[in-house]
Structure 1
Amino acid sequence: MDADTAPRIVLTVFVVALSGIMGAALLHLLTIGASLKQVLVGGPAIAVMFCAQVVRSTPRGMRMSRTRQYWVLGVQTLCTFPPMLLLGTAWIGLPGLLAGSLLLTLPKPWSWLGTAGCVASVVLVTSASGWPPLRVAYNGVSALTTCAVVYGLTKLSEIVIQLRAAQQEIARLAVEEERLRFARDLHDLLGYSLSAITLRSELAHRLVDADPPRAKEEVTHVLEISRQALSDVRAVARSYRNISLPVEISSTVSVFEAAGIEAEVDSTLENISETVGTVLATVLREGVTNILRHSKVRHCQITVRGGPDHAVLRLVNDGVQPRPDPLDPTTPQPDSDGGSGIGNLATRVAAIGGTLRADVHEDGCFHLEASIPAVVQGP
């Protein structure tokens, strides 16, 4: 069912119900032996009342300005009470329609007072005409029923329209969230691979004449990394993003060796689940990517600890250059194209109940630390 079908169904039901009410009013007018003058007055008034009520209850009418709604209400009022002076009891079915419009248009308590006045007018006219009490009560209840039909079906149409709008907004947000997920995963997964490919390609280029066997070995590493990058892209497309933390640590050490960076690894992986390991591996990737892009690192320490309560990954490097500006560009900062690796990681870690800290400590080194509970909240 498309976005317009449900409101159309509700509007159709409303028009059918309103046509029944108006038809009953017209038949009542014709069956009481009304004069030609009364028919000429009542017929057009019923038609105008019908059109005004339909206009008020359409989706476009619901979006009318308050001033225009008051104009429609004024037309309905003129079609209700002045004809009642001439038609008397032949017009007792119309005040219920006006009562419904009053509830839809006027603020409280005026809407309730107006509704009570419409019902009271029916009771007064029928009582003054000498009708028996039960018949007077019946017509008062009929006016309330008409009011409820007009108000309820119009409100139902409004709710359906709002629900459809909310569903469309949810769908739009879902698409936007998936787009952000895709962009975040591409950044997290491919940033490291592309940086490693660039580093090893530059190294192979320098060694192609001086040390061809070593250059060939580096090209082999580039092919392996590019294949892994292709696999990562496919994993993102399938929304399957598990990454092996041990493999990521091994790959990091290999890249650091190629870059001439001394790597010190201290890890305990036995108590780390696959979900936690994937997030920690992503943190490690982004940390290494920032090191390769933004820092002049000579030594890096990687520490991974898995305990019964939480798992921690700590990445410490000495690549921070002393500068007077506190916003040191050697520390990970948002990319110039608008991406933010650290921001992505903080979002990913927070999604499973963890915390991420990234700052320069008193030792002059940049510390990136992710702490994730052993029992995750869910990705």
Structure 2
Amino acid sequence: MDCCDNDRVRDVPADPGTGLTNFRRYTWWSLIGIIAFFLVFSVARSRIMDVAVPFVVRFAVVTALALTVAAVAVSISRRLPRVPSGSPDTDPDGPPPVGWLAAGGAGGIALGVALLAVRDYGLWSFGPAMTVSVIAMFLPDRRRWLLIAATAVGAAVLGGVTAAVSGQGSLFAAAFPAGLVVFTGWVTLGMLWAWDVAERLNAARRLSAELAIKDERLRFAADLHDIQGHHLQVIALKSELAARLAEADPARAAAEMQEVRRLATDALRDTRAVVQGYRRVTLEEEITNATRVLAAAGIDARMELDPAVPGLLPGPDRHLLGLVMREATTNVLRHSRARHVEVSYRITDGLARLTAANDGAPDRRTTEHPGIGREAGPRQEAGPGTGLRTLAERVRTAGGELTWRHDGDRFTVTASLPVERSGPEPAGDRTTAAATDLEAR
């Protein structure tokens, strides 16, 4: 994810429905509560708070305790940003609070030295252990555990040597500080890990929503391209015909221009319908339209249709085959010199199969393209994201297959979808149908 994506994700506030805000609050209070409790406990239960200890020493210890707790609170707040970022481990909300981390580390060391001086071998390591675990939050995974391991070894050596010099048992004095450092790091970093995972999941959820919006925009752009490209191609064809007939047959030229006007009106209506989200293209409509358009272009169009097929296909499948029929017709008008077009629509081996073949492709060796990923003959594709390749993806998603074959001067497009024999699609309003179609896409 680049910087722009990070900024865009960070600008989006956390969705209250995810509970991420409450989870952050829980993590923040848990970390600070545990660390503050053990720091206060280690000082309150230590001999350093006895009245026999000078007041200045006790005051210095309490001051160091307050500074350490404040530094820990600020550092954890910086490590748990209020608005989730894209990568918690490497990109916390702003740079690490080096000053507060240094203050907390100094306070923890001061507490450890003071308690070790009065021979509290079981309590002196709380301050260093807690502050080291907070510092480790801002380090990468390997470095944070190296820091904790080094601190555990150092605490074990320091506690064991001090106890041995004092003539007391060194096993507990060495083992307890080391175990406390490891345990503290395990607990605090484990809670931080849970927060990081939740933050990543929330960022992924919001990114998925953005990608869904972009996919829908691309789908809309593809539909708009299909509608505008088809209508404009027919308008250009009829305008050229009217221009040639203007002198020889003015009456027919006028009729052709009336047809151009009707096509322009249809294009405007279809464009508005796409914007509103209610337009559905069906195969029956596209076959009828293709017959009329090809005949106007002087192309002999022969249709072999199975009347039982439409009732066996749901609306989204008829829509998808309609798009295939439209693309095949547009390619014939735009890229071929066809004189004959044959369209077949029937049931074969449990599949509704649509085949559109024309004889106007330039002569070349036989090539066959099973779906997506190859060239579709000479100029049959407008480029990535449109035409037969995009339709092949959509047909494959619907459980079917779209292929095209170039054999000599003959170009054949074949689309097949499995037949559902549950009966025809129930009648309903166009809004419900459009919603079903959108979900199928």
Tell me, what secondary structure is at the counterpart of 2:309? Answer: coil
Indicate how the Cα distance of structure 1 residues 24 and 41 shifts in structure 2: closer, same or farther if over 3 A, else same: closer
Q: How much has 1:291 moved relative to structure 2?
A: 1.5
Aligned match for 1:359, one of 373, 385, 405: 405
Indicate how the Cα distance of structure 1 residues 346 and 59 shifts in structure 2: closer, same or farther if over 3 A, else same: same
Structure 1, unmatched stretches of 5+, are: 131-138
Which residue pairs with 1:315 in the alignment? Answer: 356
1-side partners of 2:104 and 2:318: how far apart? Answer: 70
1-side partners of 2:147 and 2:359: how far apart? Answer: 72
What value does the CA root-mean-square deviation take over the aligned residues? 4.6
Count of residues paired in the alignment: 368
**1:243–1:281 CA contact under 8 A, matched in 2:** yes
Indicate how the Cα distance of structure 1 residues 141 and 253 shifts in structure 2: closer, same or farther if over 3 A, else same: same
Task: Please tell me the residue identity of whatever aligns with 2:380.
Answer: P
Q: Which is further off, 140-149 or 170-179?
A: 140-149
Which residue pairs with 2:344 in the alignment? Answer: 303
In the superposition, the TM-score normalised over structure 2's length comes to 0.67
Give a deviation string over 1:281-303, Cα, whole Å, max 9, x none. 10010111112111111111111
Q: Which is further off, 288-297 or 196-205?
A: 196-205
**2:353–2:416 CA contact under 8 A, matched in 1:** yes
Which residue pairs with 1:369 in the alignment? Answer: 414
2-side partners of 1:146 and 1:354: how far apart? Answer: 57
2-side partners of 1:74 and 1:114: how far apart? Answer: 20
Aligned match for 1:333, one of 375, 381, 385: 381
Indicate how the Cα distance of structure 1 residues 115 and 266 shifts in structure 2: closer, same or farther if over 3 A, else same: farther
What is the 5 A alignment of 1:17-36?
17=33, 18-19=35-36, 21-24=38-41, 31-33=49-51, 34-35=53-54, 36=56
Task: Please tell me the residue identity of whatever aligns with 1:373.
Answer: P
Q: How much has 1:357 moved relative to structure 2?
A: 0.8
Indicate how the Cα distance of structure 1 residues 217 and 154 shifts in structure 2: closer, same or farther if over 3 A, else same: same
Q: Which is further off, 170-179 or 237-246?
A: 237-246
2-side partners of 1:360 and 1:210: how far apart? Answer: 38
Indicate how the Cα distance of structure 1 residues 188 and 118 shifts in structure 2: closer, same or farther if over 3 A, else same: farther
Indicate how the Cα distance of structure 1 residues 179 and 26 shifts in structure 2: closer, same or farther if over 3 A, else same: farther
Indicate how the Cα distance of structure 1 residues 300 and 225 shifts in structure 2: closer, same or farther if over 3 A, else same: same
Give a deviation string over 1:203-255, Cα, whole Å, max 9, x none. 22332333233233323333333333234323323444422322211111111
**2:404–2:411 CA contact under 8 A, matched in 1:** yes
Q: How much has 1:181 moved relative to structure 2?
A: 0.8
Which residue pairs with 2:334 in the alignment? Answer: 293
1-side partners of 2:148 and 2:49: how far apart? Answer: 32
Q: How much has 1:328 moved relative to structure 2?
A: 8.7
What is the 5 A alignment of 1:187-336?
187-272=225-310, 273=313, 274-306=315-347, 309-322=350-363, 330-335=378-383
Which residue pairs with 2:67 in the alignment? Answer: 47
**1:245–1:280 CA contact under 8 A, matched in 2:** yes
In the superposition, the TM-score normalised over structure 1's length comes to 0.76
Q: How much has 1:164 moved relative to structure 2?
A: 2.9
Tell me, what secondary structure is at the counterpart of 2:301? Answer: strand
Task: Please tell me the residue identity of whatever aligns with 1:58.
Answer: R
**1:102–1:114 CA contact under 8 A, matched in 2:** no
2-side partners of 1:14 and 1:378: how far apart? Answer: 46
1-side partners of 2:114 and 2:351: how far apart? Answer: 79
Aligned-pair identity (%): 26
Task: Please tell me the residue identity of whatever aligns with 2:317.
Answer: V
Tell me, what secondary structure is at the counterpart of 2:337? Answer: coil
Tell me, what secondary structure is at the counterpart of 1:79? Answer: helix
Tell me, what secondary structure is at the counterpart of 1:2? Answer: coil
Indicate how the Cα distance of structure 1 residues 74 and 179 shifts in structure 2: closer, same or farther if over 3 A, else same: same
Q: How much has 1:154 moved relative to structure 2?
A: 2.3
